Chains A and B, each alone.
Chain A
Amino acid sequence: MSSITGIFSKEAVQEKIHEPKPYSNPYLVGIGLGLVLLAAFIIMGRGLGASGAFSSLVAAGVQQVAPDHAANNPYFKEYIGDGSTNPLKDWLVFEVLGVFVGGLISGLLAHRVKKTVEKGDRISVRNRLIFAFIGGGLMGFGAKLARGCTSGQALTGGALLNLGSWAFMMMVFAGAYGMAYFMRRQWT
């Protein structure tokens, strides 16, 4: 008997070890994130970002495939510079590499790394991935128009009391809440 219960409890322990841990308290996470942002202001004199790194990546890609075309495009040219340095040797590119690593470390520690597709029950995987691509496309375009995304505008500009960032932030929530009804099948 004792050996059976022994096995049971051992299995139960193992299951518990591999179970994904619950997410942390959002207020504590926010304070932690705020301190990271504050460190960026104090050490670097700039805030966080994300979409800018992908602009550098896209510009570098266009430069590789069609160097003349990239040099003639006023937008990509800004990211490529005068050609003396690699466009990927950029602050935001290194910061975003860190985001991947930091996210992975946290995910591994909490057993939350898993090959999966996040979606509601009422949508197929294929359609969810199509929406992910379209949503990403809108986000990429919108972030360029707004001069930054949730990190570069809402968080950074929000903490620095930048007028444009606050206007931007309100509009992000307005756009998302306005669209939520039409996307309910994807999530709920």
Chain B
Amino acid sequence: MNAPFFKFDFFSADFSLVIAFAIGIGFGFALERGGFGNARILASQFYFTDMRVLKVMFSAIVTAMLGVFFFVAFGWLDLSLVYYTDTNLIPQVVGGLILGVGFVVGGYCPGTSCVSAATGRIDGVIYLLGVMAGIFVFGEIFPLIEGFYYSSNMGRVFLPDYLGLSYGMIVFLVVLMAVGAFAAAEWGEKKMAAKSGGVK
């Protein structure tokens, strides 16, 4: 097996758009199943009453990470051909903070707001208009912040290389961390439910 298929010319760029649509359907379906079309469910993550965001996100990351790890270990997947962004540490840290604030103010992230809008939520539609406004402002002032945007570039940084540990060890540590986070989330939810007298 030679993966990623697209990079080995198994199909054309035009056909990749069909795949994009199909993958998007799976993505949207999963988000809706998880309750992520609903801002109240997403926001309850930040009040410790319903930790679904953490549970879904980390089980998704762990599943995909393990999949990639084993495909690479079996020699089926060339990881150097899988795209991910360069690390620009400071802009990404600042961007993450802004995004986190936007998450709890707006109630969604861009992907979940699409599902929200598709299932009739007006706040999701308005949120999406806000996202486009934010992108427009960013684009307009880009010449002023270009220096900051490209600052602290570290290139393509793979965590195992950066920490000087083996790929398998980092995968193991992430799984361990996720299991710990799940246990803490279950415990926290019970604690919060008891505090509010079992009413959720």
Which residue numbers of A lie inside 8 Å of B, CB to CB? 23-24, 26-27, 29-48, 50-51, 54-55, 57-59, 61-62, 73-76, 89, 91-107, 110, 112-120, 128-129, 131-180, 183-184, 186-188
Most chain A C-beta atoms within 10 Å of own C-beta, residue among B83, B115, B118: B118
Contact of B7 among A45, A147, A183 (CB under 8 A): A45
Please state if B27 and A94 are interface contacts (CB–CB under 8 Å). no
Q: Which A residue's beta carbon lies closest to that of B44?
A: A187
Please state if A36 and B100 are interface contacts (CB–CB under 8 Å). no
- A115 CA to B119 CA, complexed, in Å: 8
Contact of A147 among B92, B122, B132 (CB under 8 A): B92
Contact of A102 among B3, B7, B32, B89 (CB under 8 A): B32
Q: Chain B residues with Cβ under 8 A from A92's Cβ?
A: 20
- A41 CA to B72 CA, complexed, in Å: 11
- A173 CA to B42 CA, complexed, in Å: 12
Interface residue? B188 (CB, 8 A):
no
Q: Chain A residues with Cβ under 8 A from B132's Cβ?
A: 54, 57-58, 61, 136, 140
Q: Chain A residues with Cβ under 8 A from B106's Cβ?
A: 131-136, 138-139
Contact of B34 among A33, A55, A101, A114 (CB under 8 A): A33
Interface residue? B75 (CB, 8 A):
no
* CB of B195, distance to nearest CB on chain A (Å): 13
Please state if B131 and A117 are interface contacts (CB–CB under 8 Å). no
Which residue numbers of B lie inside 8 Å of A, CB to CB? 3-7, 16-35, 37-41, 43-47, 49, 52, 55-65, 67-68, 71, 77, 79, 81-89, 91-124, 126-140, 142-143, 145-146, 149, 154, 156-160, 162, 167, 170-171, 174, 182
Please state if B160 and A161 are interface contacts (CB–CB under 8 Å). yes
Q: Chain B residues with Cβ under 8 A from A102's Cβ?
A: 24-32, 115
Q: Chain B residues with Cβ under 8 A from A118's Cβ?
A: 38-40, 107, 116, 121, 123-124
Most chain A C-beta atoms within 10 Å of own C-beta, residue among B43, B45, B124, B162: B43
- A163 CA to B155 CA, complexed, in Å: 10
Most chain A C-beta atoms within 10 Å of own C-beta, residue among B52, B62, B95: B95
- A160 CA to B162 CA, complexed, in Å: 13
Please state if B96 and A142 are interface contacts (CB–CB under 8 Å). yes
Chain B binding surface, main DSSP class: helix
Contact of B103 among A51, A155, A158, A172 (CB under 8 A): A172
- A23 CA to B48 CA, complexed, in Å: 18
* CB of B29, distance to nearest CB on chain A (Å): 4
Please state if B16 and A44 are interface contacts (CB–CB under 8 Å). yes
* CB of A56, distance to nearest CB on chain B (Å): 10
Q: Chain B residues with Cβ under 8 A from A33's Cβ?
A: 27, 30-31, 34, 56, 59-60, 63
Q: Chain B residues with Cβ under 8 A from A34's Cβ?
A: 59-64, 67
> Assuming A137-B134, A160-B82, is B120 touching A115 (CB within 8 A)?
yes
Please state if A26 and B84 are interface contacts (CB–CB under 8 Å). no
* CB of A163, distance to nearest CB on chain B (Å): 4
- A26 CA to B171 CA, complexed, in Å: 21
Q: Which B residue's beta carbon lies closest to that of A106?
A: B32
Given contacts A33-B56, A142-B96, A174-B96, list 12 more A-B pairs with CB under 8 A. Answer: A32-B30, A75-B142, A98-B20, A100-B28, A103-B118, A116-B120, A136-B128, A137-B130, A147-B95, A151-B27, A171-B96, A180-B47
Q: Chain A residues with Cβ under 8 A from B128's Cβ?
A: 54, 136
Most chain A C-beta atoms within 10 Å of own C-beta, residue among B18, B28, B39, B59: B28
Q: Chain B residues with Cβ under 8 A from A40's Cβ?
A: 23
Please state if B63 and A35 are interface contacts (CB–CB under 8 Å). yes
Please state if A180 and B28 are interface contacts (CB–CB under 8 Å). no
